[in-house]
């Protein structure tokens, strides 16, 4: 089988959604360079990058520029962006281990899911039709539900980022005090907390389901 031409390889790198992915990397780099000195600008840049995450998918479908490279680039950019934000929050709050644990869960869950999908011969890690868990199917099968969980998680982290005023701030104290205010911020915080909690549960389910798929692959290969 002849290898793909250099021109074809180059064209994939220059797909519109992939160019948006490169732009997101640059935006995130600038954002985190400013995260300790300019909270407002950091939040604007981070949210804009997150908005572009949905935009690149739309362009990929609109112009039929879906690619494996683009899917990997998109996932890696998402995971690194969230990981960096969680790392920042671990420095602003105590116990910081909470955010580092969330960072680990996010990366491990998605890595297992991506790897098990390729082992199963799937073209996308979002293909969970063969899974038995209804919540995992609802997450990947309904774009609105996935968007709610993802947006809620990111918005919750941004709210916590803004509410942190010193490195010794307790994340539990800040959360309880925010919920007790009875304001619009309290309602927004509660809604994002619900979406965040659902996403963490789904991450755990996804990790276990993907691990089971890897074990099944090993068992089948050893026969």
Question: Which active-site residues does the annotation give?
Answer: 78
In angstroms, rounded to a whole number, what is the distance separating the alpha carbons of residues 76 and 7? Answer: 25
List 169's β-bridge partners, or say none.
93
CA distance readout (Å), 133 to 110, 121, 141, 160, 214:
16, 20, 12, 31, 17
């Amino acid at each position: 089988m002849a290898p793909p031409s250099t021109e074809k390889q180059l064209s994939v790198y220059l797909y519109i959604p992939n160019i948006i992915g490169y732009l997101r990397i640059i935006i995130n780099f600038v954002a985190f360079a400013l995260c300790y000195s300019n909270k407002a600008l950091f939040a604007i840049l981070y949210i804009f990058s997150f908005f572009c995450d949905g935009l690149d998918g739309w362009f990929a479908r609109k112009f039929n520029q879906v690619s494996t490279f683009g899917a990997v680039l998109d996932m890696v950019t998402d995971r690194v962006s969230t990981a960096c934000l969680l790392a920042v929050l671990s420095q602003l709050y105590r116990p910081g281990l909470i955010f580092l644990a969330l960072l680990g869960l996010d990366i491990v869950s998605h890595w297992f899911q991506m790897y098990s999908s390729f082992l199963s011969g799937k073209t996308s890690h979002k293909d969970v039709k063969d899974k038995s868990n209804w919540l995992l199917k609802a997450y990947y099968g309904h774009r609105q539900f996935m968007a709610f969980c993802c947006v809620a998680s990111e918005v919750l982290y941004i709210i916590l980022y803004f509410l942190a005023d010193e490195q010794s701030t307790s994340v539990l104290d800040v959360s309880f005090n925010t919920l007790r205010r009875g304001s619009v911020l309290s309602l927004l915080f509660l809604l994002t907390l619900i979406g965040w909690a659902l996403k963490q549960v789904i991450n755990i389910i996804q990790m276990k389901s993907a691990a089971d798929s890897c074990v099944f692959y090993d068992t089948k290969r050893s026969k």
